[in-house]
Amino acid sequence: MRETFTIALNNRFADLINVSGTMTALGGSVCAEDVRVATSAMMARFVNMHELQAEASRVIAELTGAEAGCLTASASAAMTLSIAGAMTGLDPAAVENLPQRPGEKCEVAVQMGHLCGYGAPVSQAVELAGATVRIVGQSTLCADHQLEGVLSDRTAAALFVASHHVVHYGQIPLKRFAEICHAKQVPVIVDAASEYDLRWFLDQGADIVIYSGHKFLGGPTSGVIAGRRDLVRATYFQNIGIGRGMKIGKESIAGTIAALEAWAVRDHDEIRKTETAALTLWQSALAGVDGVTARIMPDPTNNPLDRLQVEIDPLKTGWSAAQAAAELGAQSPKIIVRNHKVEQDSFQLDPCNILPGQAEKVATALTNVMTRKTLPTAVSDARNGGVNSYLAWLA
């Protein structure tokens, strides 16, 4: 008898503990009961999508302080569509011309240090709209005059990326970035997909801010767009053009609205206490292990979140951070760590997605794996793992 998906979900797909963070490759986050109920309920009915998006706009505006908001398929889609909106406004012919004929106002200024990869290149999200990236400065140094020199009558928008992936020094800070752009009537779009604060970026001068609905907010996969009413309307208008392939379903809108409402009443302090307790437990599990140092580190973009950084001295342990990360991922249940710095002999444990009882399982796995004299040989997937996993699919 064929195994149903529900049984398979319990038997196979649930065998994973996420201490990597709010990662798309791991499904974003786990939705709360209210979010699951709202998502499920909407699947059983029809709805006027414009009215549903208007309700989303009301909730987004209330929570962020923006004039308006809307939802789309993902934060990546939101980046492309908000850039397109800045290019076309509410001109339907201009919308239909994208991406092949973007018109003269088609350049987007981005600091070089912000042209990171988030699973795909930031530059590609810009170019999907038919826009041209205008690089500002160098990867580790961007001066005011360099941004001023790039802005022109052809500039549709300036993009600012807030992420742990970007260069964190030598860049123009958002407030100053916005001041320079606004002096030349250029709107500022902020990609804050993985950021926790829903008001700070608008307060610093952003005209549009983009969040992932499925990361810290704990909703279904979605992109949350908040900002100036005219730009939000132009962004939403892209649904008659390139936005058609990036549309969001009624169930995801309903679930994201529920997640936004839950965020407003969430006990953030209590969640932080639970996360801190997990970090302390894991740090204790590694105390005294020769060649292993465990430090509690703050989030690099100032989210109210700490992580445990596990630093490996291969000369003492006999194995690398890459090997340890791979072996933890081979446990039952799988322990998926934050491994993008294994080439620097470290990885991190992120507590923001652990479920009840999982912190103890992680501590046990750490003790079992990190006290071994040898570990299986593993080649680091940190740089190529995302591509390799796609290449391996159905191979």
pLDDT (0 to 100) of residue 39: 97
186 within a domain of the structure (yes/no): yes
pLDDT (0 to 100) of residue 268: 92
Identify the CATH number of the domain in which residue 317 sits.
3.90.1150.180
Of the two residues 381 and 304, the one the predictor is more confident about is 304
Q: Are residues 260 and 285 in the same domain?
A: no
Beta-sheet pairing, 306-312 with 292-298: antiparallel
Q: Is the pLDDT of residue 353 over 80?
A: yes
Q: Are residues 247 and 289 in the same domain?
A: no
Q: Is the pLDDT of residue 10 over 90?
A: no
Q: Are residues 273 and 260 in the same domain?
A: no
Identify the CATH number of the domain in which residue 169 sits.
3.40.640.10
What is the band of 315 on the pLDDT scale with cuts at 50, 70, 90?
Answer: very high
| Single-letter residue type at 21 | G
Give dist(CA 114, CA 122) in Å, integer: 8
pLDDT (0 to 100) of residue 379: 62
Q: Are residues 215 and 242 in the same domain?
A: yes
Q: Are residues 55 and 164 in the same domain?
A: yes
Q: What is the pTM (predicted TM-score) of this model?
A: 0.93
Q: Are residues 261 and 328 in the same domain?
A: no
Of the two residues 325 and 10, the one the predictor is more confident about is 325
Q: Are residues 285 and 213 in the same domain?
A: no
Q: Are residues 164 and 232 in the same domain?
A: yes
Q: Are residues 118 and 202 in the same domain?
A: yes
363-383 mean pLDDT: 83
Report whether 109 contacts 150 (CB < 8 A).
Answer: yes
What is the band of 324 on the pLDDT scale with cuts at 50, 70, 90?
Answer: very high
79-104 mean pLDDT: 98
Q: Is the pLDDT of residue 178 over 70?
A: yes
pLDDT (0 to 100) of residue 113: 97
On average, the pLDDT of the chain sits at: 94
- What's the gap between Cα 193 and its chain centre? 4
Domain carrying residue 73: 46-265
34 within a domain of the structure (yes/no): no
28 within a domain of the structure (yes/no): no
Q: Are residues 81 and 179 in the same domain?
A: yes
Q: In the chain, how many domains are there? A: 2
